[in-house]
A and B are shown apart, each in its own frame.
Chain A
Amino acid sequence: DAGVTQSPTHLIKTRGQQVTLRCSPKSGHDTVSWYQQALGQGPQFIFQYYEEEERQRGNFPDRFSGHQFPNYSSELNVNALLLGDSALYLCASSLVQGREETQYFGPGTRLLVL
């Protein structure tokens, strides 16, 4: 049973560029959440996708956008990259069962913006 997978593992971009990160959820899961983890900090919630729609969003600017596909996989897009966007981006998947969903995390994509 494959867990949550993310690609790529590492990425280097320059300021102003755009980046797309990808996530495949754990088998049987239908919900994908994205988090940003800056160095030395806990993960910060970006947004969550369920049934191909953004269900909830954290305090991130519109430069951060996402998409969920019919197979439940998801993409995170960041436009106009800033140096401060350098971080580990984590994807988590879950199965919505009432309100008791547990989120399982992928290994993350480490983004460096130069």
Chain B
Amino acid sequence: AQSVAQPEDQVNVAEGNPLTVKCTYSVSGNPYLFWYVQYPNRGLQFLLKYITGDNLVKGSYGFEAEFNKSQTSFHLKKPSALVSDSALYFCAVRAYSSASKIIFGSGTRLSIRP
């Protein structure tokens, strides 16, 4: 069965500092991995995805994520945080063999202080 774990409910970072939001996954076969961001009272916005190829994936708004197969992790990173990055972040996984079902983590609230 597919599953995603986001071990931190909240991450607090000072503006200008690097940030990391952690994600580990479990899936049979090759995974498709995604990061989405959700602002208050809004739907989810797609940030980036890993399908295959380079383990470092670059996405929107300066975010990037590193796929680590041995650690089954897909951590989200940004070199320099902005106050406007404060939001709820979701990691998600889909098995290669699954037609459509995406499994989401429970979310991590990112708070950037000025």
Contact = CB atoms under 8 A, between A and B. Distances in A.
Contact of B102 (A31, A103, A107): A103
A31 B104 contact: no
Contacts of B34: 102
A102 B49 contact: yes
A58 B105 CA distance: 15
Nearest to A98: B51
Contact of A45 (B45, B49, B103): B103
12 contacts: A4-B43, A42-B104, A42-B105, A42-B107, A43-B104, A48-B101, A90-B44, A100-B32, A100-B51, A104-B46, A105-B45, A108-B42
Interface in B63-114: 90, 92, 96, 98-107
Interface of B: 4, 32, 34, 36, 42-46, 49, 51, 90, 92, 96, 98-107
Interface of A: 4, 6, 31, 33, 35, 41-45, 48, 50, 55-56, 58, 90, 92, 99-108
A48 B99 contact: yes
B90 A31 contact: no
B103 A99 contact: no
A33 B32 contact: no
A106 B104 CA distance: 16
A100 B103 CA distance: 15
B101 A41 contact: no
Contact of B107 (A35, A41, A108): A41
A35 B100 CA distance: 12
B46 A31 contact: no
